[in-house]
Amino acid sequence: VLSVGKFVTRGIHFAVNRSDIRPESAGILNEVAQLMKTHPILRFRIEGHTDSDGEADYNLSLSAKRADAVKTALIHLGVAENRLEAEGKGESIPISDNQSPEGKANNRRVEFIKL
């Protein structure tokens, strides 16, 4: 992340159609928090992404809520709020096709963009 400027996570999981972070996501959230504590100059924009199931407006709203939930979780883990931004992208930037279950799973992700 220090040289590339971003990283993509698929290990942050949410309840279906909700922004509640599932317990199995704790490991990756702790890793990100530790990374930020180790490198105090790091700042990130947290981007939430969805697959294309459902309405585009709903997916945009859901992805924003999920990005906010990740931001809140990192703040609770000791990361200063002013080092984080959150933004939902909905289904607008797929990285895989949305025709297969695997492709949809790849598109449901959280990206951390170095600011």
Residue 15 has pLDDT above 90, yes or no: yes
Both tokens of 62, joined, read 């859901």
8 Å CB contact between 60 and 101: no
Amino acid symbol at 25? S
Instruction: Report pLDDT for 38.
Output: 96
Helix (H) or strand (E) holding 86: strand 84-90
Interacting residues of 64 by C-beta distance below 8 A, sequence separation 6+: 48, 86, 87, 88
Whether the predicted model's global pTM rises above the 0.85 cut: yes
**pLDDT digit string, tens, across residues 24-58:** 999 999 999 999 999 999 999 999 999 999 999 99
Q: Which pLDDT value is given to residue 101?
A: 94
Q: Inform me whether the pLDDT recorded for 83 exceeds 80.
A: yes
CA distance 37 to 16: 31
Handedness of CA 86, 89, 21, 19 (dihedral sign): positive
